[in-house]
């Protein structure tokens, strides 16, 4: 008989047998709570930011729990709760679709070497002012 190997070393140390008892029945559907993702908006017109997850039996109760858990600290103008199963995401294997996106450094502030240009301009002005 094999023993249970767990990510928790305390379980593994117990050397429990992995035999499944025959008297166990599967849990009934809707016996567990659903998972919801919570998005928070700090200012009117601002963007919603993912702040965490919670478990609730319905979306109405999820919104209430989200308000209590994530809306009580700081300013809040709006909240969204989205059932986790409704979130549609790309698979990690599909990340290559972004490989064809060209570099767009011009969109990054660091791409503009403004400081260097300003320093060169200041030196030029100082040189003209001293008559050199």
Q: Give the mean model confidence (pLDDT) for residues 86-97.
A: 85
37 within a domain of the structure (yes/no): yes
105 within a domain of the structure (yes/no): yes
* Band of pLDDT at residue 82, cut at 50, 70 and 90: very high
Burial of residue 73, with CB atoms counted within 10 A of its CB: 0-12 exposed, 13-18 middle, 19 or more buried = exposed
Number of domains in the chain: 1
* Band of pLDDT at residue 131, cut at 50, 70 and 90: low
10 within a domain of the structure (yes/no): no
State residue 1's pLDDT score: 60
91 within a domain of the structure (yes/no): yes
Burial of residue 62, with CB atoms counted within 10 A of its CB: 0-12 exposed, 13-18 middle, 19 or more buried = buried
Domain hosting 78: range is 31-126
CATH number of the domain to which 108 belongs: 3.10.20.520
pTM, to two decimals: 0.53
For residue 117, give the H/E element and its range: helix 114-130
Angstrom distance (rounded) from CA 99 to CA 36 = 32
45 within a domain of the structure (yes/no): yes
24 within a domain of the structure (yes/no): no
What does the pLDDT look like over 58-69, one tens digit per residue?
A: 999 999 999 999
76 within a domain of the structure (yes/no): yes
């Amino acid at each position: 008989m094999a023993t249970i190997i767990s990510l928790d070393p305390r379980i593994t140390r117990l050397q429990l047998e992995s035999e499944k008892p025959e008297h166990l029945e599967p849990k009934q559907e809707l016996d567990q709570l659903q998972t919801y993702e919570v998005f928070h908006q700090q200012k009117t017109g601002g963007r919603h930011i993912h702040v965490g997850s919670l478990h609730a039996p319905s979306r109405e109760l999820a919104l209430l729990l989200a308000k209590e858990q994530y809306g009580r600290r700081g300013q809040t103008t709006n909240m969204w709760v989205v059932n986790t199963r409704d979130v549609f995401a790309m698979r990690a294997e599909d990340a290559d679709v972004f490989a064809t996106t060209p570099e767009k450094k011009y969109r990054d502030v660091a791409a503009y070497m403004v400081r260097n240009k300003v320093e060169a301009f200041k030196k030029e002005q100082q040189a003209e002012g001293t008559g050199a």
